[in-house]
Chains A and B, each alone.
Chain A
Amino acid sequence: MDSPARIEVRRLTISVEGQVVQRDLDFEVAAGQIFAVIGDGGSGRSLLLRHMAGMQRPTAGAVLYDGESLWGGSEADRERLRHRFGILFQGAVLIAEMTLLENVAVKLRLNTALSDREADEVAALKLAIMGLRGHERHYPSQVSVGMRIRAALARAIALDPDILFFDDPSALLDPLHSQRVDDIILGLRDATGATIVLVSHDLPSVFALADDALFLDGEKKTMIARGRPEELRDHCPDPKVRAFLTRGRA
């Protein structure tokens, strides 16, 4: 790996209500990389993303960001680190009572010294980057699923984070709109150099975007493969991984 590790996951164990979902996860994500987390349903992909994004405390192990642990420091340190993160939740959750502009601007109003007017201007720019110029005053219920996803992407990048976590951004989209979202994600990475962790079950997106990928196995409850998606598809010794990446044709 050429770039330094931006995120290091060290012997991470994830559990839910006393049941282990994944154990002994150990890997790193290089700076500026798009890193895909793939695996069978129920393997804990989204849970891993939430742990990497500092939204849940690990049962055991640690996640380090440029060598710094989120849970090892004070609350102030956690706040500072979290300002480096941008998160897109599965289903592109927006606050229904706010317009698209307000959904993006509220993050700027609450976390920067910008005036409300300046925050609105920055939010409008973020929406424009996502191709939503002219839809600023629309409410989430008034726009399509694809537009909601792009508005949620705009909110994720509102504070110019250098680490982005995307949970299945194309889960609700048709192939064409899924490809447009992929283009936006690539454009964002190229323009900002951000490190992107992506959970997805959309194979075309994984192959189009990911520089590196991790396969979680829900039965063995740990990672069973790591590498470029194409390499995993063609050369992974584990037949389950090959079958997954070829839709059962391998």
Chain B
Amino acid sequence: MNVAAPPTVSVSREGDAGVVRLSGAWRLQDGLRPTEEVTRALDALPLRRLRFDAAAVERWDTSLVVFLARVHDTCVQREVGVDTSGLPAGARRLLELARQGAVLGGGAEPEPADRWRRERRGSVRGPDPWTERIGWWGIHSFQSLGGKLEFFGSTVQSCVRMLLGRTRRLRAPFLHYLQQAGVETLPIVALMGFAIGAVLALITTGQLERLGATPLVARIVSIAVLREMGSLMVGIAIAGRLGSAIAAEIASMVARREVDVLNVIGVDRFDYLIAPRVIALALAGPLLVVYANTLGLLGGFFVGVSVVGLPAPEYVERTRAVLTYKHMLAGLIKGLAFGVVTALMAGYYGVQSGRTAGGVGRAVRKAVVGAVVGVVLTDAAITLVFKWVRL
């Protein structure tokens, strides 16, 4: 294999003109070549003109044009004439275009026709034979399953890269996502948490009064909030509020083709769009559960003391008795899982939305439904696992 010679520059004098001899392979991947030799020659010699000899240039790209543009600017500053006839024709043409720098304008024009909508209605294609439709349906279903698995695998890979700090240089606004998932969700979680605790206390009191066991209200409310209701309520809040927001954001980027742009400029869409949101929700989920649990316990306390009439010290003591790490850990694990499930659902349906305005709405609907169902099913699965491992 031939190894390309590195680019070289030498300057000599012929009468009152300087000759810049260029050779080797000029490649952008090897970096830009400084113009020191030329500048030094212009400093040392009183030249009236500068010409180029590029006969020994093996190959060239923009790095040569950048070099020539720099030399040209230097010559213009020193009022030295430049003769570009010895340059490759293509490089000369690009240099001329760059020097012209003409400013063109343009105006707003009508939107292009919505081809996809017509395609979906089938107005531009005839019907396929039914056997072919079944075949393509089968292929599509198989590819769809593969696509979901690929999405999940790529997200896991990307999250690992992000946690190890190995994502590429274009940083996603991770803190913004964390704030969106955490701080901005606090009010709704506070309201729902307090209300859930209060309602639980009211319902259980009604049943326990018949058995004469109203002091157990504190215990039942606390366990229910810590193990189940607090985390489930956070899961639903995240799925509704953040699932829709994430899906809409990503789907809008897909519709505007910004995701395509990310791909072609070399940014992994999973690194930039999906992984930061998954990690943000994975962090925010457990924190929101702690917050919701606290408010839920307060709601139960409020009803237990003010409505049921239990003594406050007794209610607090019975609550403290069930505040074990097992119950708290169960809620935290669920909060983390619900955050991840929501981000995955929203990310997947956002990316799959298609490039139409209607695609954004469909993505949001699918993401919210998928996230809510995913949260409930995940809750059931985790509860079964906890029962199995006695957590």
| In the complex, chain B residues whose CB is within 8 Å of the CB of A190 | 90, 93
Say yes or no: A173 contacts B124, CB within 8 Å.
Answer: no
Say yes or no: A107 contacts B104, CB within 8 Å.
Answer: no
B65 in contact (CB, < 8 A): yes
User: Shortest CB–CB separation between residue A189 and chain B, in angstroms?
Assistant: 10
User: Shortest CB–CB separation between residue B193 and chain A, in angstroms?
Assistant: 36
Q: Which of B30, B69, B104, B261 contacts A147 (CB 8 A)?
A: B104
Say yes or no: B140 contacts A17, CB within 8 Å.
Answer: yes
Distance A177 CA – B104 CA, assembled complex (angstroms) = 7
Within residues 183 to 227 of chain A, which ones have a CB less than 8 A from any CB in chain B?
184, 187, 190-193, 218-219, 221
Contact flags B332-353 to A (C-beta < 8 A → 1, else 0) = 0000000000000000000000
| In the complex, chain B residues whose CB is within 8 Å of the CB of A236 | none
Give the interface segment out of B204-212, B238-246, B263-271, B273-281: B263-271
Distance A160 CA – B94 CA, assembled complex (angstroms) = 12
Say yes or no: B104 contacts A110, CB within 8 Å.
Answer: no
A233 in contact (CB, < 8 A): no
Q: Which of B118, B169, B261 contacts A95 (CB 8 A)?
A: B261
| In the complex, chain A residues whose CB is within 8 Å of the CB of B107 | 144-146, 174
Distance A198 CA – B256 CA, assembled complex (angstroms) = 20
Say yes or no: A89 contacts B260, CB within 8 Å.
Answer: yes
| In the complex, chain B residues whose CB is within 8 Å of the CB of A90 | 112, 257
Which bucket holds chain B's interface residue count?
A: 35 or more
State whether A40 and B124 are in contact (beta carbons under 8 Å apart), knowing that A131-B100, A134-B103 are contacts in the complex.
Answer: yes
User: Shortest CB–CB separation between residue B175 and chain A, in angstroms?
Assistant: 16
Contact flags B97-128 to A (C-beta < 8 A → 1, else 0) = 11111111111110011010011000111101
Which bucket holds chain A's interface residue count?
A: 35 or more
User: Shortest CB–CB separation between residue B265 and chain A, in angstroms?
Assistant: 4
Q: Which of A95, A144, A193, A219 contacts B258 (CB 8 A)?
A: A95
A111 in contact (CB, < 8 A): yes
State whether A41 and B101 are in contact (beta carbons under 8 Å apart), knowing that A19-B136, A114-B28 are contacts in the complex.
Answer: no
**Could you jot down 27 A-B contacts, CB within 8 Å?**
A17-B140, A20-B128, A42-B118, A59-B139, A89-B257, A91-B112, A93-B256, A107-B266, A108-B28, A112-B29, A118-B32, A121-B66, A122-B32, A125-B66, A128-B69, A129-B97, A133-B101, A133-B103, A145-B109, A147-B104, A155-B265, A168-B112, A171-B112, A172-B106, A174-B106, A192-B94, A219-B126
